[in-house]
C-alpha cells in the first residue's frame, strides 16, 4: 500500500515525496542551454572583461610611470582648488599622454616654450580612446623646477587653474637641454 507522501521511482523503488535523488522533476539537471536553442554569452562576457582589463592596465601603467614630482604637482593644484571650494581634477592617462606628446614638441630642437591650447586639445584627442575632449588648456614652464608658485602668483594662470570648466589633468616633467620643463594640460570631455 502506497501512502500519498510516497513516490515510485523509475527503478521501481518507493521513496518519500520530495526526497528523490534526481530532484522533483525526475531529472538530475534541467535541460541544457543547447537543447533549448540558447547559446550562453560566455564568449561575449570574456571579450568585454578582457577589454576592461586591458584598459585598466593601460591606465595603471601610465600612472606607474609618473614621477613623485608630477604627482605632487597635481596634488598641489587640487589643494589650491580645494581652498577655493572647487572640485578636484581627476588624473587622466589620456591627458598624461597628451602632456608627453606636447613635451616632445616643446623640447625638440627649435620647440617654442609657449603654451598652445589648440595643440594641447589635438594631442588630448589623439590620446583619448573614447570620445573627444571639448576643451583643453596647456600651462608650460621651461627652466624652473617648481613652476607652481609662479602660476599661482600670475592672475591669468591662477584663473586657469581655478576654472571649474576643467575636470581632468595631465602632467609631464622632463629635464632636457640643461633645463627642467613642465607641461600641465587641463581638459573637459
Instruction: Average the pLDDT over 157-184 and give the result.
Output: 90
- Rounded Cα distance between 96 and 70, Å, is 10
Residue 159 has pLDDT above 50, yes or no: yes
**Higher confidence at residue 37 or residue 165?**
165
Instruction: Please give the Cα distance from 6 to 16 (Å, whole number).
Output: 4
How confident is the model at residue 172, as a pLDDT?
Answer: 92
Overall CATH class of domain 67-188: alpha beta
Reported as type and span, the H/E element at residue 8 is strand 6-8
Domain boundaries, the chain: 1-30, 37-64, 67-188
User: Stretch 147-163: mean pLDDT, rounded?
Assistant: 93
pLDDT single digits (tens) 99-128: 999 998 888 866 678 888 999 999 999 888
Angle between helices 117-127 and 93-107 (to 10 degrees): 130
Average pLDDT over the chain, rounded to whole? Answer: 79
CA 90/CA 187 separation, integer angstroms = 10
Asked whether the predicted pLDDT for residue 48 surpasses 80, the reply is: no
Q: Can you read off the three cell numbers belonging to residue 97? A: 599622454
- For residue 25, what pLDDT is reported? 52
- Check pLDDT > 50 for residue 84: yes
Hey, what long-range contacts does 7-13 have (CB within 8 A, 24 or more apart)?
none
Amino acid at each position: 500500500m502506497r501512502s500519498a507522501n510516497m513516490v515510485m521511482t523509475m527503478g521501481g523503488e518507493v521513496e518519500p515525496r520530495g526526497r528523490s535523488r534526481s530532484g522533483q522533476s525526475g531529472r538530475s539537471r534541467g535541460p541544457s542551454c543547447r537543447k533549448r536553442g540558447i547559446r550562453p554569452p560566455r564568449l561575449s562576457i570574456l571579450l568585454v572583461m578582457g577589454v576592461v582589463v586591458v584598459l585598466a592596465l593601460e591606465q595603471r601603467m601610465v600612472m606607474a610611470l609618473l614621477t613623485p614630482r608630477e604627482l605632487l604637482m597635481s596634488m598641489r593644484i587640487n589643494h589650491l582648488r580645494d581652498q577655493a571650494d572647487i572640485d578636484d581634477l581627476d588624473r587622466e592617462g589620456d591627458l598624461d599622454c597628451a602632456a608627453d606628446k606636447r613635451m616632445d614638441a616643446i623640447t625638440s630642437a627649435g620647440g617654442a616654450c609657449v603654451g598652445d591650447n589648440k595643440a594641447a586639445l589635438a594631442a588630448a584627442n589623439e590620446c583619448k580612446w573614447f570620445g573627444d575632449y571639448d576643451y583643453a588648456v596647456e600651462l608650460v614652464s621651461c627652466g624652473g623646477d617648481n613652476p607652481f608658485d609662479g602660476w599661482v602668483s600670475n592672475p591669468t594662470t591662477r584663473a586657469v587653474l581655478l576654472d571649474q570648466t576643467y575636470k581632468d589633468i595631465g602632467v609631464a616633467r622632463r629635464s632636457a637641454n640643461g633645463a627642467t620643463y613642465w607641461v600641465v594640460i587641463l581638459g573637459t570631455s
